[in-house]
Homo-oligomer: A and B are copies of this chain.
Amino acid sequence: MSSEPDLVYVALGGAGEIGMNMYLYGHGSGEDRRWIMVDCGVSFPDMETSPGVDLIMADPAFISERADRLDGIFITHAHEDHVGAIGHLWAELQAPIFAREFTAAFVRLKMAEAGYEDATVHVCPPHPRSVQAGPFRVSFVPVSHSIPDASALVIETSAGRVIHTGDFKIDRTPQVGDPFDEAMFWQLAQTRVDALICDSTNVFSTHPGRSEADLAEPIAELVKSAPGLVVATTFASNVARLRTLALAGQAAGRGIAVRGRAMRRMIGLAREHGLIDDFPQVLTDEELLDTPSEHLMVLASGSQGERRAAMSHIASGSNDRLRLGPGDVVLFSSKTIPGNEPAVARVQNRFAETGARVVDESDGLYHVSGHANRPDLKSLHYLLQPGLVVPMHGEQRHLQEHAALARESGFPALIAPNGTMVRIAGGPAEILGEVETGRLYLDGIMLVGALDGVVRERIRLAIRGLVAVSVVIDQNGDLAADPVAEVIGISTDLDDELTDLVAEIEDVAELAIERAERAQKRDDDEVRRVISAACSQLCNRLVGKKPVISVLVSRVEVE
């Protein structure tokens, strides 16, 4: 193909779900395109769909196969759903990484954890300065979000110029990090914006977004009025919120303690980079022990009810010093991510059992979102007057609603779910085709395809339980020993007549072999099949379940 070079966009992750953001921009034509990646994040597993999985990420196969044409990886901000996969996928990507200062520091930690201390991470100054990566000129435009140094990207090529928002909100007083700078965005729009690729997370929130600054007073009031201990939680990476909480504690004459590794690390990192110079000195463990409850405020990680996080531990009373009771206040200054409600309720109920007062965003203005709400998205559309709006970072419903919102204001919009290659500049905006996409699971130290079946097998084990049976067969096709069975995750004590499921299974396996044809008994697959069938039927009759059955066949020679 000798067509003119254009600029294309492909989401590998993030357009069809919230989380695991991974976007590609390609410049050139046909197979000659050069690429950059924007963000490389994870999402988190759940027992329902991905038990035992450690992390979920987009399958980068499409770009891995073209890694020699990948000119850079741009990270918009240091949230796990934008950067958490970088260390795990680095081996197949191996392109220079670009990020602003705080984000770059976080990326370096991630890379070091994965054993890549020497990967190249370029620290990029903010817009109007820019960096060149292959045919792409990219500048980082500071935006407000729930973590410092968040950025939108201006991506320029000879084929056109687009803006990728990353996660953002319109907050003029974000307390930490850069305020949203309308003048800068207006300035950006003075040169044509061919396309706006835009965060869709909060498109269903109809009120204008609120500022971090709005929280200072309600939180300070709450902390001041608490008679006893105050324990507060938020996302560990929400540095501005940690500061808001800590300053409220300080104003109420309380010492600030921090529980939770991720939270400590984030506070340390933000302090190093001069982002929270007014953050109070944190109490040492000894000082914590010496501080009376009414002069103490504890910031703890685990706002999503994570079982191993500090909040869970405190709620369960496992820390003697932090045992709560009436007069104490527990503040969830956070949003509960859909699906985590039962886990959060479990922790909140634990706290409630102690007699402490549990407070969350339903009780007052104790949390603001980090994402642009519907009216804010509309404002950005108007501000930038893009030639095309491409909604990203959202489930299908969010993408559709966001596209409808753009069209209402007269901006063309295009929905491009994961794997859809779309021309966004250098020619008519249109879908050019589909590329291969999928999900990878980090499972222990293995990266496996979500559809490989390994996790599906585990779900079957969880639902059905397991029967393992071993049989030893001699050269005549006879059993050389009694079958041996084990049962895991199935009730074995049968009420009636005190029969035992394991013994019944062993008997039924023996009978199955005895009844099998000579030819069948010579064939391991046949042996497995007849024993499985017999055991399945037995279990269904005795306990009402058909378990997963593993039959192990050994062959011996006897006299």
Contact = CB atoms under 8 A, between A and B. Distances in A.
B552 A353 contact: no
Contacts of A472: 472, 480-481, 554, 556
Interface string A4-34: 0000000000001000000000000000000
A444 B515 CA distance: 29
A491 B544 contact: no
A455 B545 contact: no
A553 interface: yes
Count this chain's copies in the assembly. 2
A105 interface: no
A121 to B, nearest CB: 26
A465 B53 CA distance: 11
A428 interface: no
Given A396-B349, A544-B446, A464 B52 contact: yes
A490 interface: yes
A443 B51 contact: no
Interface string A186-202: 00000000000000000
Nearest to A456: B489
A49 B157 CA distance: 51
Contacts of A464: 52
A517 B12 CA distance: 55
A274 interface: no
A540 B348 CA distance: 35
A415 B469 CA distance: 51
Contacts of A395: 345, 349, 352
Given A488-B550, A491-B454, A463 B396 contact: no
Contacts of A400: 352
Interface of A is mostly: mixed
Interface string A314-340: 000000000000000000000000110
Nearest to A339: B342
A366 to B, nearest CB: 15
A349 B482 CA distance: 53
Contacts of A348: 397
A491 B341 contact: no
A362 interface: yes
Given A470-B554, A556-B556, A52 B545 contact: yes
Contacts of A47: 46-48, 51, 459, 462
Nearest to A485: B552
A445 interface: yes
A228 to B, nearest CB: 16
A516 to B, nearest CB: 18
A558 interface: yes
A545 B444 contact: yes
Contacts of A352: 395-397, 400
Interface string A437-455: 0000001111010001011
A457 interface: yes
A282 interface: no
Contact of A358 (B353, B397, B545, B559): B397
For the complex of A and B, the 8 pairs showing the least CB-CB separation, nearest first, are: A444-B544, A445-B544, A462-B462, A470-B470, A458-B489, A338-B341, A444-B545, A51-B462
16 contacts: A46-B342, A47-B459, A51-B463, A52-B489, A338-B341, A348-B397, A353-B396, A358-B397, A443-B545, A444-B544, A454-B489, A455-B489, A457-B488, A461-B465, A481-B555, A486-B552
